[in-house]
Chains A and B, each alone.
Chain A
Amino acid sequence: MGRTTYLQGQKAAGRKVAAVWPARYPAELLWAHGVCPAEVWDPPAGQALAGAHLQSYVCGVVRQGLEFLLSGGLAVADFLLFPHTCDSIQNLGSLVRDLVHEPKPCLFFYPPRSGGSERAAVYLEAQLRTLSADLTRIAGPLRDGALEGALALGRGRTAAVSELYALRARGGLNASNAEFYGAVRACEYLWPEDAVLHLKAFTKTHAGRQRRGVPLVLSGVLPAPSDLAQRLDGLGVAVVEDDLLVCGRRFARAPLPEPGDPWKAVAARLLALPPCCTTGDGVEDRAAFLAEQVERSGARGVVFLALKFCEPELFQIPSLSGAMRARGIPVLIVETELGTTTPAGMMTRVEAFLESLP
């Protein structure tokens, strides 16, 4: 079933649909309000309409998201949510609401940049309540116990994703890179219960000895272009871990504190996600996280997918790659863009990297 058909089904079941731009947002709160989030990372879209609004130096995630919206690809959505991930998404949200005059409601969410401080937690909780008030206007009020229920759904989904990642890292998943990322990225639009069923079915079907290949870790925003995972399969790469913003950086790897207050729990879950440049975490934290993934998966190197014009990522890549090299981990940095076809030159570089690995 395609994404749009699935989301139409969600609406038929009485839920609202939110088109959500990357990257971090309180999914539990949306679920608690009966909203099914559908994330907008790299939708299939050209460049024709967005070019009238955005300069050529704006990143593909922002350009294609706008293109998809303007070309009617998000007609199924009842409203749009723009988490404040970077300067470009910040301005995109405002542009869509204030100057393009998108008729659907546009909501905003600001993940604090001041780390795990108490002040950040307090501010985050206040923001969650403000967002909830906005959601109430669109999707109706929170029912008693709805937030607790949504938190349980979130725990279930995290557990299913974690199990899949752990299985892959241990070499116990007989799935291609393309199959793996297809399965995990379905969580971008599936209702959490459906996501859990989907992930469990995938895990069951693909449990088994891992296909042979050179074990690598991917780092970056997302596996782009869209055929990249498949092309890596073709080269004999077995991606065994990632700190991709779209995947591995969005679920907690360790058990989370569960405060009794559900609002604090939603805030705590967001603050406990793996270190990320978009929320202001430093290179040291991210390097430690990445090295841990390399170690636990037995990867032989890290491939950094440097998404063109993505400032948060591009700033950290030199230090992050340096930190990996300092630990004796081979690294390759390749520039990527959204699209459907991985350039031959990029694949040649990956091939050369594989040959150079000790």
Chain B
Amino acid sequence: MRVASELRFRWMKDVALPVLLKARERRPRERPRGESPLGPPLESTRSLKRLMTRHYALARYAEGARPVAWVTSGAPVELLRAFGCYTVYPENHAALCGARRMGPEICAHAEEAGFSRDLCSYARVDLGHALSGLTPVGRLPRPDVLFCTNNICQTILYWFKELSHGEGIPLVMLDTPFIASGEGTPEVFDYVAGQIKDAVPALERITGREFREDRFHDVLRSSIRASALWGDVLATMRHRPAPMTVFDAFVHLAPVVSLRGLPSCERYYEGLLAELQERVSRDVAAVPGERHRLMWDNIAIWFALAPLSRLFAEHGWAGVAGTYPNAWAETTHYLDLADPFGSLAKTYTLIFLNRGLDYRLGLMEAMGRDYQADGLVLHSARSCKPYSVGQYDLRQALAQRLGIKSVVLEGDMTDFRTWSEEQAKTRLTAFFESLDG
């Protein structure tokens, strides 16, 4: 059975999928690009689509051929890669469902099962998917293991416990204590590193595979490089005019979230960076006639990404920085091959969502300066408490420190039932006018 699954997986990976994807690309574009206030689209977007389509398509054939792990976006996936796990990110999948405007439809299944509409919509999408099988990607493989770290929120812990309980799937959980102030203590890092070490025998048991240190080191090397490349990609937006926008960054961060530690991820960002550098050298603007530059705080409003992107561009606004895309480039410099477990503990504990708001304020202030932002948009995401609680005061503090104006958009990542497009448009238009005025 395992041999058959392995053969099927390899055949799909090496033969069928490349052919199918090529054939798909040869098809003419369904929608010719009409009038747009945006600059020329990034060529790399086609590679991105190919990469992510391949990832989700192949996932269907991973069951039985590879140990399948469902992972949280802030988890040290490098450990799973050392076991050859095929990884699926429910958060990335939820974002995809949001972008395809399937959020409410899938959430409804979770809500019917008793999950409150006030809960995180990523979680509701995921639980709704578990209950209904609804997904825009055909099918997600059943996980052999759930791998979760609570550095991004505590919600993830309740959510993954619920998946584990409902589906009877083993859960490996890493507890990363909140760093209220300072840079963390040796006790914290020892605690986290110890748990990562404890995860090794647990994963050996679950996957039936031996932990290979050489492979682990290769993965770490690849992860460091991919994150560094992603950091360089984001840094191109410091250029005036910015060669891409934060809305592009939301789309192009998928590989660093989902494929970090794999060669395909590195290759992808090498290509994207080269394209952006070339744009910088020629002053190609993502928003022609860029007049203002803004920073975005919080996760994207996935279902409104395209209209928001156009609206900003129509007013000459380029989103040039975002706290969310930056998270995958923020702490990887702590990774050290000489101390893999200790440095993984640091890397994953010290992300900004796991630190006090004074740290976040400093980070946003630095980003505002580095990227020369003259406006700030705060997405107050109804279902993301760790990201949103504190935003009102961050806004005031940043106004004082950077002298920039800001606007709060009340919304959500995937559930558009809480979103009023007209209201958002009116607020943003008034905001743009206040800056121009």
CB within 8 Å of B: which residues of A? 52-55, 57-58, 62, 84, 86-88, 90-95, 97-100, 108, 110, 112-114, 117, 119-120, 122-123, 126-127, 130, 277, 280, 282-284, 306, 308-309, 311-312, 314-319, 321-322, 333, 335
Of the candidates B150, B180, B185, B195, which one forms a contact with A119 in the assembled complex, judged by CB atoms under 8 Å apart? Answer: B195
Residues on B lying within 8 angstroms of A by beta carbon are 113-116, 118-120, 123, 150, 153-155, 157-159, 161-162, 164-166, 173, 175, 177-178, 180-181, 185, 187-188, 190-191, 194-195, 198, 356-358, 361, 380, 382-383, 385-386, 388-394, 396-397, 410
- Asked if B116 and A91 make an inter-chain contact with CB atoms under 8 angstroms apart, the answer reads no
- In this complex, the member of B180, B361, B380 whose beta carbon has the largest number of chain A beta carbons within 10 angstroms is B180
CA of A284 to CA of B396 in the docked complex: distance in angstroms?
Answer: 44
Alpha-carbon distance between A309 and B120 when the two chains are bound, in angstroms: 10
**Other CB < 8 Å A-B pairs besides A55-B391, A93-B180, A110-B177, 15 of them?**
A52-B392, A53-B392, A54-B392, A55-B382, A62-B389, A86-B154, A90-B178, A98-B356, A98-B357, A99-B396, A113-B173, A119-B195, A130-B185, A306-B116, A311-B118
Q: A130, A319, A321: which contacts B166 (Cβ < 8 A)?
A: A319
Instruction: Find out whether the CB atom of B165 lies under 8 angstroms from the CB atom of A95.
Output: no
Instruction: Please determine whether A87 and B155 come into contact, CB atoms closer than 8 angstroms.
Output: yes
Q: Are B393 and A308 in contact (CB under 8 A)?
A: no
Tell me the nearest residue of chain B to A90, going by C-beta.
Answer: B178
**Chain A contacts for B164, CB-based, 8 A:** 282
> Taking the nearest CB of chain B, how far is it from the CB of A340, in angstroms?
22
A91 contacts B158, CB within 8 Å? no
From A84, A119, A277, give the contact of B158 (CB < 8 A): A277
Contact among B177, B356, B386 for A123, CB-based, below 8 A: B177
- The answer for the CA separation of A52 and B392 in the assembled complex, in Å, is 7
> Are B157 and A280 neighbours in the complex by a CB distance under 8 Å?
yes
Collect the chain B residues with CB atoms within 8 Å of residue A57's CB. 118, 382-383
Those 3 A-B pairs whose CB atoms lie nearest each other, nearest first: A318-B114, A315-B158, A99-B393
B356 and chain A: residue at smallest CB distance: A94
**Inter-subunit contact A94/B357 (CB<8 Å):** yes
Q: How far is the CA of A117 from the CA of B155 in the complex (A)?
A: 21
Q: For the complex, what is the distance from the CA of A82 to the CA of B190, rounded to whole Å?
A: 23
Given the known interface contacts A87-B389, A282-B161, the answer about A55 and B115 at a Cβ–Cβ threshold of 8 Å is: no
Also in contact, A55 and B150, with CB within 8 A (given A84-B178, A99-B357): no
Q: Tell me if A90 and B165 are in contact (CB < 8 A).
A: no
| A58-B387 Cα distance, complex, nearest whole Å | 12
B385→A91 contact, CB < 8 A: yes
CA distance in complex: A120, B177 (Å) = 11
Q: Nearest CB to that of A62 among chain B residues?
A: B389
Roughly how many angstroms separate A120 CA and B187 CA in the complex, as a whole number?
11
Q: B154 and A312: CB pair below 8 A?
A: yes
When the two chains form their complex, are residues B158 and A312 in contact, meaning their CB atoms are under 8 A apart? yes
Query: Which of B162, B194, B386, B389 has the largest count of A CB atoms less than 10 A from its CB?
Result: B389
- Which residues of chain B are near A284, meaning CB under 8 Å? 165
**How many CB-defined contacts (below 8 Å) exist between A and B?**
151
Q: What's the Cα separation between A322 and B410 when bound, in Å?
A: 34
Q: Which residues of A contact B382 (CB under 8 A)?
A: 55, 57
Q: Is the CB of B194 within 8 A of A119?
A: yes
Please, how many angstroms separate the alpha-carbon atoms of A148 and B425 in the complex?
Answer: 62
Are A53 and B158 in contact, with the CB atoms below 8 A?
no
The CA of A95 and the CA of B360, in the complex, are separated in Å by: 11
A321 touches B114 (CB 8 A): yes
Given A114-B175, A126-B187, A315-B159, A95 contacting B357 (CB threshold 8 A): yes
CB-contact partner of B393 in A95, A112, A123, under 8 A: A95
A94 pairs with B390, CB closer than 8 A: yes
Give the distance in Å from the alpha carbon of A335 to the alpha carbon of B118 in the complex: 11
A319→B392 contact, CB < 8 A: no
Is B393 within 8 A of A53, CB to CB? Answer: yes
Q: Could you tell me if B361 and A315 are in contact, using CB atoms closer than 8 angstroms?
A: no
CB distance from A86 to the nearest CB of B (A): 6
| In contact, B118 and A127 (Cβ under 8 angstroms) | no
Contact B389 A58 (CB under 8 A): yes
Q: Are A311 and B389 touching (Cβ within 8 A)?
A: no
Determine whether the beta carbon of B114 is less than 8 Å from that of A317. yes
> Is the Cβ of A88 less than 8 Å from the Cβ of B385?
yes
Q: Are A113 and B157 in contact (CB under 8 A)?
A: yes
Bound together, the chains give a CA A113 to CA B328 distance in angstroms of 24
Q: Which of B178, B194, B392 contacts A110 (CB 8 A)?
A: B178
Q: Which of B114, B157, B180 contacts A108 (CB 8 A)?
A: B180
CB distance from A222 to the nearest CB of B (A): 17
* Nearest Cβ on chain A to B168's Cβ, whole angstroms: 11
CA distance A1 to B178 in the complex (A): 38
Q: Which residues of chain B are near A95, meaning CB under 8 Å?
A: 357, 389-390, 393
Q: Could you tell me the distance between the alpha carbons of A152 and B155 in the complex, rounded to whole angstroms? A: 36
Closest to A126 in B: B187
A117: chain B residues within 8 A (beta carbon)? 198
Closest Cβ–Cβ distance, residue A186 to chain B (whole Å): 30
CB-based contact B118/A308 at 8 Å? yes
Determine how close the nearest CB of chain B comes to the CB of A79; give it in whole angstroms. 14
**Does A315 contact B178, Cβ atoms closer than 8 Å?**
no
Across-interface contacts of B190 in A (CB, < 8 A): 123
Q: In the assembled complex, which residues on chain B have CB atoms less than 8 Å from the CB atom of A113? A: 150, 154, 157, 173, 175
| A315 to B113 alpha-carbon distance, docked (Å) | 11
Is there contact, CB below 8 Å, between B154 and A87?
yes
Q: Can you sample 13 A-B contacts with CB below 8 Å?
A: A54-B389, A94-B390, A97-B180, A97-B356, A99-B394, A114-B173, A119-B195, A126-B187, A130-B185, A280-B161, A314-B115, A318-B115, A319-B162
Flag if B118 contacts A314 (CB, 8 Å).
yes
A321 nearest CB neighbor, chain B only: B114
Q: Answer whether A123 and B114 are a contact pair too, CB < 8 Å, given A94-B390, A99-B357, A114-B173.
A: no
A94-B357, A317-B114 are contacts. A311–B386 as well, Cβ < 8 Å? Answer: no
Q: Which chain A residue shows the least CB distance to B385?
A: A87
In the complex, chain B residues whose CB is within 8 Å of the CB of A306: 116
**What distance in Å separates the Cβ of A208 from its nearest Cβ neighbour in chain B?**
40
Cβ-defined contact, B173 with A311, below 8 A: no
